[in-house]
Amino acid sequence: MKAAVFREPGKPLTIEDLHVDKPRGREVLVRTVAAGVCHSDLHFVEGLYPYPAPAVLGHESAGIVEQVGEQVTYVSPGDHVIACLTVFCGSCEQCLSGRPNLCSNRAATQRDPSGEPRLKLGNEMVHQFMDIGGYAEKMLLHENAVVKVTKEIPLDRAALIGCAVTTGLGAVFNTAKVQPGSSVAVFGCGGVGLAVVQGAKLAGARQIIAVDVFEHKLETAKKFGATHTVVAAGDNPVRKIRELSGGGVDYSFEAIGKKETAEQAFYCLAPGGTATVIGMVPGKDKIEIDGRHFLVEKRIQGTFMGSARHRIDIPRYVDFYLQGRLNLDDMVTRRRRLDEINQAFEAMKAGEVVRTVLTFN
């Protein structure tokens, strides 16, 4: 099968022919139909975060089950599925406490490292990014890394639920628990930021302030439900947000992954407000906060994949889409083939697209 392979940080991905094993035990073999191109993959391609090579990147994919291992009970061939990087073991303390997104025993869902690998290039083992490896014609996944979805949702839209949508909506509903009537600021209007905007609208926020350096992205944010916009180019947007919200917002979301914007997300809060940092802030960057703000009960917190319990949350998001309450159609702004993956990254860097989705035959 063809796959886009990561070989070295800073180098383009290369399209190569890999061998994918047959599903064993609780594994399922999925024919990829669509793969969203997410900023997080680019962080790894650029070496901002390390990842072992060679690896198949991609973690926002959807497809059709082709074959299942002998112990699989959850899906059958022909089922439509969304791949989820929040693969869960189902029996560790995190899973049993209702936080399967933080599963502490992913190893239980992976192959024994000394045995036959899932993916190979000749005799060499190839890593599967986040246990998915979605930039490939096929994905060999643990059954707990997929969610079955109705065939009513087109798979190129469904793919986005695998990352951007679950991350953004989940940050709003599960992590921050945004209340009806509240005010929200969203830093960054890419795929995740727009999902936060849509989530805030679904949660009944009265004011949704979108912040970005690109004016065209702010225009898009308005279409998705932003009530106000702030252009952040060269300027600290905190004063403007405080002005618009009459003293600070109840909830803020950082969907970029920068120290500066994480700090701004905290400083634009009203007393009692909560900042949720979604973006991947590099570990070398320390977030600095003036301690006096804690006296008025301001909070800052992390979130991982929208604190998702993916088998519960994803079917709900699919229903929102089918009911016309979640706009995924306009989030897919470009479709490309697998061998155009590097151009898709370039377009993302230039701020040209909300989401490129790679489509497969």
Shortest Cβ distance from residue 273 to Zn ion (Å)? 26
Tell me if residue 38 is catalytic: yes
Catalytic-residue membership of 84: no
SS3 254: strand
Using CB under 5 A, which of 38, 82, 281, 305 touches Zn ion?
38
We find the least distance from the C-beta atom of residue 162 to Zn ion, in angstroms, to be 8
Q: Is 59 in the site for ligand CXF (CB under 6 A)?
A: yes
Contact criterion met (CB below 8 Å) for 55 and 129: yes
Q: Could you say whether residue 56 binds ligand CXF (CB under 6 A)?
A: no
Integer Cα distance of 298 and 45 in angstroms: 35
Should residue 130 be labelled a site residue for ligand CXF when binding is judged by CB under 6 A?
yes
Short-list 245, 256, 129, CA closest to 188:
256
E strand map for the chain: 2-6, 14-17, 19-20, 27-36, 55-56, 61-68, 80-83, 119-121, 124-125, 127-128, 138-142, 146-149, 183-187, 207-212, 228-231, 249-254, 269-277, 299-302, 332-336, 355-359
**Is 40 a residue that touches Zn ion (CB under 5 A)?**
yes
Of 114, 109, 22, nearest to 74 by C-alpha is: 109
The C-alpha atoms of residue 344 and residue 357 are separated, in whole angstroms, by 9
Long-range contact set of residues 333-336: C-beta below 8 Å, sequence gap at least 24: 335/156, 335/359
Q: Would residue 40 show up in a list of annotated catalytic residues for this protein?
A: yes
Output 57 or 203, the one with its CB closest to Zn ion. Answer: 57
Which partner, Zn ion, ligand CXF, none, binds residue 130 by CB below 5 to 8 Å per kind?
Answer: ligand CXF
- Per the annotation, the verdict on 92 as an active-site residue is no
Nearer to Zn ion, 54 or 134 (CB): 134
Distance, CA of 3 to CA of 345 (rounded, Å): 16
The residue count for binding ligand CXF (CB under 6 A) is 8
Could you tell me how many residues make up the chain?
Answer: 361
Q: Which residues from 273-302 bind ligand CXF, rule CB under 6 A?
A: 280
Minimum CB–partner distance for residue 129 and ligand CXF (Å):
8
Provide the 3-class DSSP secondary structure of residue 38.
Answer: coil
| Identity of residue 149 | V
Q: Which residue is nearest to Zn ion (CB)?
A: 38
Assess 37 for contact with Zn ion (CB under 5 A): no
Ramachandran quadrant class, 177 (left: phi over 0; alpha: psi -120 to 50; beta: rest)? left
Region binding Zn ion by CB under 5 A among candidate stretches 35-43, 46-54, 175-183, 285-293: 35-43
Cα–Cα dist 2/249, whole Å: 47
Query: Shortest gap between Cβ of 188 and ligand CXF (angstroms)?
Result: 13
222: tokens are: 């308005």
Binding mask 68-97 for ligand CXF (x = CB under 6 A): -----------------x------------
Which position among 26, 28, 30, 40 is part of the footprint of ligand CXF (CB under 6 A)?
A: 40
Asked if 358 interacts with Zn ion (CB under 5 A), we say no
By the rule CB under 5 A, 163 interacts with Zn ion: yes
Question: Which of 84, 95, 103, 163 is flagged as catalytic?
Answer: 163
Q: Which residues are near ligand CXF by CB under 6 A?
A: 38, 40, 59, 85, 130, 163, 167, 280
Q: Which residues are near Zn ion by CB under 5 A?
A: 38, 40, 163
Residues forming the active site: 38, 40, 43, 59, 163
